[in-house]
Amino acid sequence: MIFRSRKNKNGNSGTAVEETSPAMSKADKLEEAGDHMAAVEALATENRVARDMELERRMVRLRHRAGIELTETDDSPPMGEPDYDSLEVEGDIPEIDASEMNAGIARAALLRFGCLIIRNVVPQDEALQMRDDIELSFQARDNEIVDGYFEEFVPDPPYAILERRWVSDGGGIWAADSPKFMFDMVDAFERVGLQDLVEGYLGERPAFSVNKCTLRRVPPDAGTAWHQDGAFLGDVKALNVWMSLSRCGDVAPGLDIVPKRIEEILPTGTDDALFPWSISDKVAEEAAGDTPILRPIFNPGDVILFDDVFLHRTGVDGTTMTENRYAIESWFFGPSTFPEEYVPLAF
């Protein structure tokens, strides 16, 4: 938003009046014409030159409106083809460098091992900056400061937000509640090729959501529970891009994972399971069978991809870990399978 002083008849300055920036005017026209994502692009171009909270806030709103349209579809094109020939695995878990990443390898890895680790996806200094920004978002939320790092997103009716409290109690902030972070995150995902990878993997332009795109700050004594996200997402075509923004798995909580393809949703809420949707140790160990349960070490900017049937939990050890872990958990959906009670965003 530009503020310009309005001069009176004598040429003296009077009250300041608001004037819309050229990028905002362009976005207004594009939105009126129904092209929400072109409006996002116009604002993003301007925002890369001069950061502006108003633009960042508007982009979240436009992504939401584009997401509503995107998810009003019954089309479900086939998912990307797996490229088994390019998948070389040493050890128990497939791992590649960002320079090798593509949708075919990701599909092959998830179909064989349930997951794929990709190293160095975002440069470390950028990942650490994002870590600091997550910390600032938490501070803004905890001190009730509304400044672009944190402000609660209110969706267009009839969409409603029901479980924000549940996420914040679990050490998370929704990316949509941090317009500044959302801009940096989407920009980084686009720049490093994650957007193309997700689209190639799902076989269509993905939707993501307010509810399941979360910035995480996890302390060493955090709670944990084995789970498959499909237990509460329902029957979805989905991919989670989980990106570590600080070293974890040794000094800070990582992820405990069962690196094998599991086709079905396992029984939840049995034995010592903590929640109706979580899985007991007994069921998790039986499901793992001969597959070792791993706790990989991640550095800032590393990614693990997995889907809704992957068995995992937060990997905590209150006795040896001393630091918080920062990460992005971002779930992408084939639009026709978008979870009904979630609030859509276009990527």
Ligand X SMILES: O=C(O)CCC(=O)C(=O)O
Binding residue (CB under 6 A) for ligand X from 79, 218, 258, 309: 218
Q: With beta carbons less than 8 A apart as the criterion, state whether 64 and 200 touch.
A: no
Binding residue (CB under 6 A) for ligand X from 36, 64, 141, 216: 216
Query: Does residue 228 touch ligand X according to CB under 6 A?
Result: no
Q: Least distance to ligand X from the beta carbon of 65, Å?
A: 27
Rama region for 34: left / alpha / beta (φ>0; ψ in -120 to 50; rest)? left
Which among 113, 128, 130, 163 has a CA at the least distance from the CA of 299? Answer: 128
The residue (of 237 and 312) whose beta carbon lies closer to ligand X is 312
Binding mask 236-265 for ligand X (x = CB under 6 A): ----x-x------------x----------
DSSP per position, 61-124: HHHHHHHHHHTS----PPPPPP-GGG----SSS-EEEGGG--HHHHHHHHHHHSEEEEESSS-H
Q: Least distance to ligand X from the beta carbon of 259, Å?
A: 15
* Distances from the Cα of 111 to the Cα of 82, 192, 309, 310, angstroms: 8, 24, 11, 11
Query: Does residue 326 touch ligand X according to CB under 6 A?
Result: no
Number of residues that bind ligand X (CB under 6 A): 10
Binding mask 281-320 for ligand X (x = CB under 6 A): -------------------------------x-x------
The residue (of 109 and 218) whose beta carbon lies closer to ligand X is 218
Q: Least distance to ligand X from the beta carbon of 253, Å?
A: 6
Residues pairing with 215 in the sheet: 173, 328
Query: Does residue 175 touch ligand X according to CB under 6 A?
Result: no
Binding residue (CB under 6 A) for ligand X from 327, 328, 343, 346: 327
Which two three-digit tokens encode residue 6? 């309005």
Chain positions contacting ligand X, by CB under 6 A: 216, 218, 229, 240, 242, 255, 312, 314, 327, 329
